[in-house]
Amino acid sequence: MTSVGIFGSSGRMGQAIVVAIEGAGAAYAGGVDVGGDEAALAKVSDVIVDFSSPKALAAHLTAARIAKTPILIGTTGLDGSHQAMIDDAARDIAIIQAANTSLGINLLSALIEQATARLGADWDIEVLEMHHRYKVDAPSGTALLLGAAAAKGRGKSLPELSRFDRDGPRDEGSIGFASLRGGSVAGDHMVILATEGERIEFGHRAEDRGIFARGAVKAALWLSDKLPGRYTMADVLDL
Protein backbone atom coordinates (compact mmCIF):
# COMPACT_ATOMS: atom_id res chain seq x y z
CA MET A 1 0.00 0.00 0.00
CA THR A 2 1.46 3.37 -1.07
CA SER A 3 1.87 5.84 1.79
CA VAL A 4 1.14 9.51 1.10
CA GLY A 5 2.37 12.38 3.28
CA ILE A 6 1.07 15.94 3.21
CA PHE A 7 2.90 19.24 3.55
CA GLY A 8 0.23 21.74 4.59
CA SER A 9 -2.05 19.19 6.20
CA SER A 10 -4.11 21.53 8.39
CA GLY A 11 -5.40 23.68 5.51
CA ARG A 12 -8.67 23.09 3.70
CA MET A 13 -6.98 21.26 0.86
CA GLY A 14 -4.81 19.25 3.24
CA GLN A 15 -7.87 18.03 5.12
CA ALA A 16 -9.64 17.13 1.87
CA ILE A 17 -6.57 15.18 0.73
CA VAL A 18 -6.60 13.08 3.90
CA VAL A 19 -10.15 11.98 3.01
CA ALA A 20 -9.13 11.34 -0.61
CA ILE A 21 -6.17 9.20 0.45
CA GLU A 22 -8.45 6.94 2.43
CA GLY A 23 -10.94 6.81 -0.43
CA ALA A 24 -8.20 5.75 -2.86
CA GLY A 25 -7.17 2.83 -0.66
CA ALA A 26 -3.76 4.34 0.08
CA ALA A 27 -2.11 4.86 3.47
CA TYR A 28 -1.87 8.26 5.13
CA ALA A 29 1.74 8.70 6.27
CA GLY A 30 0.97 11.86 8.24
CA GLY A 31 1.12 15.60 7.73
CA VAL A 32 3.15 18.61 8.81
CA ASP A 33 2.63 22.36 8.78
CA VAL A 34 4.80 25.37 9.57
CA GLY A 35 7.44 24.38 12.11
CA GLY A 36 6.90 20.66 11.60
CA ASP A 37 9.54 18.07 10.77
CA GLU A 38 9.37 17.90 6.97
CA ALA A 39 12.45 15.68 6.76
CA ALA A 40 10.98 13.01 9.07
CA LEU A 41 7.72 12.89 7.13
CA ALA A 42 9.49 12.65 3.79
CA LYS A 43 11.46 9.64 5.03
CA VAL A 44 8.35 7.64 5.96
CA SER A 45 6.31 8.57 2.87
CA ASP A 46 6.35 6.93 -0.55
CA VAL A 47 5.18 10.21 -2.06
CA ILE A 48 4.46 13.71 -0.75
CA VAL A 49 1.63 16.08 -1.66
CA ASP A 50 2.38 19.77 -1.02
CA PHE A 51 -0.47 22.30 -0.80
CA SER A 52 1.18 24.82 1.48
CA SER A 53 2.70 28.18 0.51
CA PRO A 54 5.37 29.47 -1.90
CA LYS A 55 7.66 30.53 0.95
CA ALA A 56 7.79 26.93 2.24
CA LEU A 57 8.68 25.40 -1.12
CA ALA A 58 12.47 25.48 -0.73
CA ALA A 59 12.38 23.59 2.59
CA HIS A 60 9.88 21.07 1.26
CA LEU A 61 11.91 20.35 -1.87
CA THR A 62 15.05 19.92 0.24
CA ALA A 63 13.32 17.42 2.54
CA ALA A 64 11.90 15.44 -0.39
CA ARG A 65 15.22 15.51 -2.21
CA ILE A 66 17.22 14.21 0.75
CA ALA A 67 14.74 11.38 1.31
CA LYS A 68 14.48 10.66 -2.46
CA THR A 69 10.70 10.97 -2.14
CA PRO A 70 8.61 12.04 -5.16
CA ILE A 71 6.53 15.16 -4.58
CA LEU A 72 3.40 16.63 -6.12
CA ILE A 73 3.30 20.42 -5.75
CA GLY A 74 -0.17 21.93 -5.88
CA THR A 75 0.83 25.26 -4.35
CA THR A 76 -0.10 28.23 -6.55
CA GLY A 77 1.42 31.70 -6.79
CA LEU A 78 4.87 30.37 -7.69
CA ASP A 79 7.27 32.64 -9.58
CA GLY A 80 10.30 32.06 -11.78
CA SER A 81 12.63 31.44 -8.85
CA HIS A 82 10.33 28.70 -7.57
CA GLN A 83 10.24 27.08 -11.02
CA ALA A 84 14.05 27.09 -11.05
CA MET A 85 14.06 25.33 -7.66
CA ILE A 86 11.69 22.68 -9.02
CA ASP A 87 13.80 22.18 -12.15
CA ASP A 88 16.88 21.69 -9.98
CA ALA A 89 15.20 19.23 -7.59
CA ALA A 90 13.79 17.24 -10.53
CA ARG A 91 17.33 16.06 -11.27
CA ASP A 92 17.06 13.86 -8.16
CA ILE A 93 13.34 13.16 -7.63
CA ALA A 94 10.11 12.80 -9.61
CA ILE A 95 7.97 15.95 -9.44
CA ILE A 96 4.56 17.04 -10.65
CA GLN A 97 3.88 20.76 -10.36
CA ALA A 98 0.21 21.39 -11.10
CA ALA A 99 -1.70 24.64 -10.96
CA ASN A 100 -4.87 22.56 -10.79
CA THR A 101 -5.25 18.86 -10.00
CA SER A 102 -8.85 18.55 -11.17
CA LEU A 103 -9.07 15.86 -13.84
CA GLY A 104 -11.77 17.89 -15.60
CA ILE A 105 -9.65 21.05 -15.77
CA ASN A 106 -6.71 19.19 -17.22
CA LEU A 107 -8.88 17.59 -19.88
CA LEU A 108 -10.34 21.04 -20.60
CA SER A 109 -6.83 22.43 -21.02
CA ALA A 110 -6.09 19.83 -23.71
CA LEU A 111 -9.33 20.66 -25.55
CA ILE A 112 -8.55 24.41 -25.49
CA GLU A 113 -5.10 23.80 -26.95
CA GLN A 114 -6.65 21.77 -29.76
CA ALA A 115 -9.27 24.44 -30.47
CA THR A 116 -6.87 27.38 -30.61
CA ALA A 117 -4.52 25.40 -32.85
CA ARG A 118 -7.30 25.18 -35.40
CA LEU A 119 -8.68 28.72 -35.20
CA GLY A 120 -6.96 31.84 -36.49
CA ALA A 121 -5.90 35.04 -34.73
CA ASP A 122 -9.26 36.59 -35.67
CA TRP A 123 -10.71 34.51 -32.83
CA ASP A 124 -10.25 36.56 -29.65
CA ILE A 125 -9.42 34.67 -26.44
CA GLU A 126 -10.66 35.73 -23.01
CA VAL A 127 -10.11 33.84 -19.75
CA LEU A 128 -12.57 34.53 -16.93
CA GLU A 129 -12.27 33.09 -13.41
CA MET A 130 -14.03 33.49 -10.08
CA HIS A 131 -12.97 32.28 -6.63
CA HIS A 132 -13.86 32.77 -2.97
CA ARG A 133 -13.10 36.07 -1.27
CA TYR A 134 -10.02 34.71 0.54
CA LYS A 135 -8.02 33.69 -2.53
CA VAL A 136 -4.78 35.66 -2.68
CA ASP A 137 -3.39 35.26 -6.20
CA ALA A 138 -5.07 36.71 -9.30
CA PRO A 139 -5.38 35.55 -11.99
CA SER A 140 -5.66 32.09 -10.52
CA GLY A 141 -3.06 29.48 -11.34
CA THR A 142 -5.77 27.60 -13.22
CA ALA A 143 -6.60 30.64 -15.36
CA LEU A 144 -2.92 30.91 -16.26
CA LEU A 145 -2.85 27.17 -17.01
CA LEU A 146 -5.77 27.54 -19.42
CA GLY A 147 -4.27 30.67 -20.94
CA ALA A 148 -0.97 28.87 -21.48
CA ALA A 149 -2.83 26.04 -23.24
CA ALA A 150 -4.52 28.57 -25.55
CA ALA A 151 -1.18 30.22 -26.30
CA LYS A 152 0.49 26.87 -26.96
CA GLY A 153 -2.21 26.05 -29.48
CA ARG A 154 -1.14 29.18 -31.35
CA GLY A 155 2.52 28.27 -31.17
CA LYS A 156 3.30 31.05 -28.68
CA SER A 157 4.10 31.38 -24.98
CA LEU A 158 1.68 32.94 -22.52
CA PRO A 159 3.94 35.95 -21.75
CA GLU A 160 3.90 36.80 -25.47
CA LEU A 161 0.10 36.92 -25.69
CA SER A 162 -1.27 37.66 -22.20
CA ARG A 163 -2.92 40.95 -21.32
CA PHE A 164 -3.82 41.53 -17.67
CA ASP A 165 -4.55 45.26 -17.83
CA ARG A 166 -6.21 46.78 -20.85
CA ASP A 167 -7.18 50.26 -21.99
CA GLY A 168 -8.63 50.62 -25.47
CA PRO A 169 -9.21 48.05 -28.23
CA ARG A 170 -7.76 44.57 -27.74
CA ASP A 171 -4.64 43.48 -29.62
CA GLU A 172 -5.31 40.88 -32.28
CA GLY A 173 -4.22 37.44 -31.11
CA SER A 174 -3.85 38.47 -27.47
CA ILE A 175 -5.26 36.57 -24.48
CA GLY A 176 -7.18 38.65 -21.96
CA PHE A 177 -7.81 37.79 -18.31
CA ALA A 178 -10.49 38.82 -15.82
CA SER A 179 -10.63 37.82 -12.13
CA LEU A 180 -13.66 37.93 -9.85
CA ARG A 181 -13.61 37.34 -6.08
CA GLY A 182 -16.52 36.80 -3.74
CA GLY A 183 -18.43 34.48 -1.45
CA SER A 184 -17.39 30.86 -1.13
CA VAL A 185 -16.86 29.97 -4.81
CA ALA A 186 -14.51 26.97 -5.02
CA GLY A 187 -13.49 27.82 -8.58
CA ASP A 188 -15.26 28.77 -11.81
CA HIS A 189 -13.32 29.10 -15.07
CA MET A 190 -14.40 29.98 -18.58
CA VAL A 191 -12.39 30.40 -21.76
CA ILE A 192 -14.21 32.33 -24.48
CA LEU A 193 -13.20 32.19 -28.14
CA ALA A 194 -15.03 34.95 -30.02
CA THR A 195 -15.01 36.11 -33.62
CA GLU A 196 -17.39 38.04 -35.86
CA GLY A 197 -20.85 36.55 -35.50
CA GLU A 198 -20.06 33.61 -33.20
CA ARG A 199 -18.28 32.47 -30.07
CA ILE A 200 -17.29 29.26 -28.33
CA GLU A 201 -17.30 28.93 -24.55
CA PHE A 202 -15.34 26.31 -22.64
CA GLY A 203 -16.23 26.13 -18.96
CA HIS A 204 -15.56 24.25 -15.76
CA ARG A 205 -17.21 24.71 -12.39
CA ALA A 206 -15.76 23.26 -9.20
CA GLU A 207 -18.52 22.49 -6.70
CA ASP A 208 -16.25 21.36 -3.88
CA ARG A 209 -12.54 20.95 -3.14
CA GLY A 210 -12.88 17.19 -3.17
CA ILE A 211 -12.29 17.15 -6.92
CA PHE A 212 -8.85 18.71 -6.48
CA ALA A 213 -7.98 16.37 -3.63
CA ARG A 214 -9.03 13.25 -5.54
CA GLY A 215 -7.08 14.39 -8.59
CA ALA A 216 -4.02 15.16 -6.45
CA VAL A 217 -4.08 11.71 -4.84
CA LYS A 218 -4.53 9.98 -8.22
CA ALA A 219 -1.54 11.92 -9.55
CA ALA A 220 0.55 11.26 -6.43
CA LEU A 221 -0.03 7.51 -6.63
CA TRP A 222 0.91 7.58 -10.32
CA LEU A 223 4.08 9.55 -9.47
CA SER A 224 5.21 7.35 -6.57
CA ASP A 225 7.30 4.95 -8.67
CA LYS A 226 8.52 7.29 -11.40
CA LEU A 227 12.14 8.12 -12.21
CA PRO A 228 13.50 11.62 -11.45
CA GLY A 229 12.17 14.36 -13.71
CA ARG A 230 9.32 16.81 -14.16
CA TYR A 231 5.92 15.39 -15.01
CA THR A 232 2.51 16.95 -15.61
CA MET A 233 -1.14 16.12 -15.07
CA ALA A 234 -1.29 15.47 -18.82
CA ASP A 235 1.19 12.64 -18.24
CA VAL A 236 -1.06 11.24 -15.51
CA LEU A 237 -4.06 11.30 -17.85
CA ASP A 238 -2.05 10.22 -20.90
CA LEU A 239 -3.23 13.26 -22.86
Q: Going by C-beta distance under 8 Å and a sequence separation of 6 or more, which residues neighbour residue 81?
A: none
CB 141 within 8 A of CB 77: yes
Residue 135 falls in the annotated catalytic set = yes
Identify the bridge partners of residue 84 per DSSP, sorted by sequence position. Answer: none
Contact (CB, 8 A) for 95 and 48: no
Q: Which residues contact 192 (CB under 8 A, 6 or more apart)?
A: 124, 125, 126, 127, 128, 199, 200, 201, 202
The yes-or-no answer on residue 189 being catalytic is no
**Distance between CA 13 and CA 195 in Å, rounded?**
38
Q: Which of 43, 60, 68, 131 is catalytic?
A: 131
Q: Which of 135, 152, 156, 226 is catalytic?
A: 135
Residues with catalytic roles? 131, 135
